[in-house]
Structure 1
Amino acid sequence: MKNIIVIKCGGSMIDTLSDDFFIGIKKMQETGFYPVIVHGGGPAINDLLKDLQIQSEFVNGLRKTTHEIMEVVEMVLSGTITNKLVRKFQKHGISSIGITGSDGGLMYAKPKDLETLGLVGEITRVNQKFLTDLLSIGMVPVISPIAIGLNHEDYYNINADTVAGEIAVALNAEKVIFVTDVPGVLKDNEIIEKTTESEILGFIDDGTISGGMIPKVMAAIHSLNSGMKEAMIVSGHKPLLDGVQIKGTTIKKELEAVK
């Protein structure tokens, strides 16, 4: 299937996505594109853990996930946030379906580092046919970043940026778009409109890119190295999507590709 666009919505954006965002998704469909949504939920997870007085820690930007924390992660991601997004899509006349990695065997995973990170996983397999079947009947998949273990019993918390990149690669998507609370990659408070893999790695080394932006750009680089044409990082605070004309930071593999 051609013309697939994978869109990752950051957890901090879920409650502030504008009507224009959903109108843009509708325009994508009307112009022959097939959107797939992956969402995060870090802030909401933090809030519930705090309410439940459950301590949480991060290791290299990833939440160490105990069994107790995993229950909260699944409750927030697959329960509250997925359903909230699906309702918003339905409100704008977009047929959508909320799914996790367990549904239809969508995503299988293994522990990334069980001793250090607990139930944080890395994806080993994506059921591409399951998603294309949903897209072929006009559904927009809304994916919670939780994957099932190979034993069909364990389940894992996966970084949503990583999930978006892996899904995009599996679907041979046209592009992957990371919707966040900043307008793109910034250098000296200015948006870098076009950049490449080598420049991105340099920005990480010199500190221009740091914190939560790193998983996004690394997922983008992974998708480019797997054959995708481009990845984008854009803001969800403003009208973003006019069909497929999107403003933000475009990342491509080679320098000549962005001139």
Structure 2
Amino acid sequence: MTMSKSTQPTAPKRIVVKLGGSMLERLNETHIANFRNMKQQGTDLIIVHGGGPAINRQLEKNGVTSTTVGGIRITSEEAVEIVQSTLIGQVNPTLVHQLNKGGITAIGLSGYDKLLTCTFLNKDIYGFVGEIKEVNAKLLDTLLANDITPVISCFGCANDGTPLNINGDTVASKIALAIKAESLLLVTDTPGIKIDGEVQQSTTAKAINDWIESEDIYGGMIPKVTAALDCLAEGIPSVQIVGETLQGTTILQQEVFA
């Protein structure tokens, strides 16, 4: 028996959601319900999370100083152990528990789980910060095929097991590219890209590059828009930088004329 095109099953839509650390601490039942609704509508979700506020508290508690360059945390050998224990030992299991409690079957992962192949980004400048060379897409495919939502902490390791902190927006973009996601959703504590105090509902790669050059985009927003542009350049159809209502700025590769 053959099936007509109209009766053939369609592949689920795939969306990668990156939750910033400050958003995680405000995560509530409404946010979980939004994710659950997305899944019920036929979307496969992969959630990537940071943990900045929690990491900062633990660093301060242990008297370890930390600075950032271009939105990337300079991570000393002492700091990387604290980042690792905070992300993998505290933030990730808490988020996984929230999702499972909210009706979403979820499992926690990090780069240690044969997920990310990493090297040092630039040890002289950033310390123990990783650069992703490869994503194990087959592992993610297997979980999604079994209706399990991967929840990934932005942490990995070198081939010898040396722990490496990785920028969360970079992790999200690399994973989106690896699984050929239809969209990347960067959920932050700001409702999108603000220029002169106004949120831009939509913008283009060219405008973003101009704003970086003019320093209208700076600091922690730079890794976000860089991740967005990388995804667009590789063919991800849509990248959005949004606030907790999941509304914000949609970034297009080029301007669309009516």
Give the structure-1-normalised TM-score.
0.92
1:70 aligns with 2:74: no
Give, as a single letter, the amino acid of the residue that structure 2 aligns with 1:177. Answer: L
**2:215 alignment partner, SS class:** coil
Deviation (angstroms), 1:134: 0.5
Q: In structure 1, which of residues 99, 110, 135 is the aligned counterpart of residue 144 of structure 2? A: 135
Which whole-Å CA distance do the structure 2 matches of 1:249 and 1:60 have between them? Answer: 21
Q: Which runs of 4+ in 1 moved over 6 A?
A: none
Equivalent residue for 2:128? Answer: 119
- 2:102, 2:235 → 1: CA distance? 33
Counterpart Cα distance in 2 of 1:86 and 1:226: 30
Counterpart in the other structure of 1:243: none
Superposed displacement of residue 155, structure 1: 2.4
Residue 254 (structure 1) aligns with: 254
Deviations 1:187-228 (A, max 9, x none): 222221111111111121222211111110100000111111
Cα drift, residue 186 of structure 1: 1.2
Cα distance, 1:42 vs structure 2: 1.3
SS in 1 for 2:86: helix
1:221: which partner in 2? 229
| Residues 238 and 252 in structure 2, CA contact (< 8 A), matched pair in contact too | yes
Q: 1:149 aligns with which of 154, 158, 161?
A: 158
Name the aligned partner's letter for residue 154 of structure 2.
Answer: P
Secondary structure of the 1:176 match is strand
| Bigger-Rg structure (1/2) | 2
- Amino acid corresponding to residue 203 of structure 1 in structure 2: W
Q: Contact conserved, 1:2 with 1:174, CA < 8 A, in 2?
A: no
TM-score, normalised with respect to structure 2: 0.92
Pairing partner for 2:47 from 23, 28, 37: 37
Tell me the amino acid that sits aligned with residue 28 of structure 1.
M
Q: Bigger relative contact order, structure 1 or 2, given CA contacts below 8 A and separation 6+?
A: 1
SS in 2 for 1:88: helix
Could you tell me how far apart the structure 2 residues matched to 1:165 and 1:62 are?
A: 15
The residue number in structure 1 matching 2:117 is 108
In the alignment, the residues of structure 1 paired with residue 228 and residue 71 of structure 2 have an alpha-carbon distance, to the nearest angstrom, of: 17
CA displacement, residues 38-84 of structure 1 (integer Å, 9 cap, x when unaligned):
00111211111111111223233322212211110011111111011
Q: Does the aligned pair in 2 maintain the 1:86–1:97 contact within 8 Å?
A: yes
> Which residue of structure 1 lines up, in the alignment, with residue 100 of structure 2?
90
1:121-155: per-residue Cα shift (whole Å, max 9, x none)? 1100100000011111111111011112133x222
Q: Which runs of 5+ in 1 are unaligned?
A: 241-246
Paired with 1:109 and 1:102, the residues of 2 have a C-alpha distance of: 10
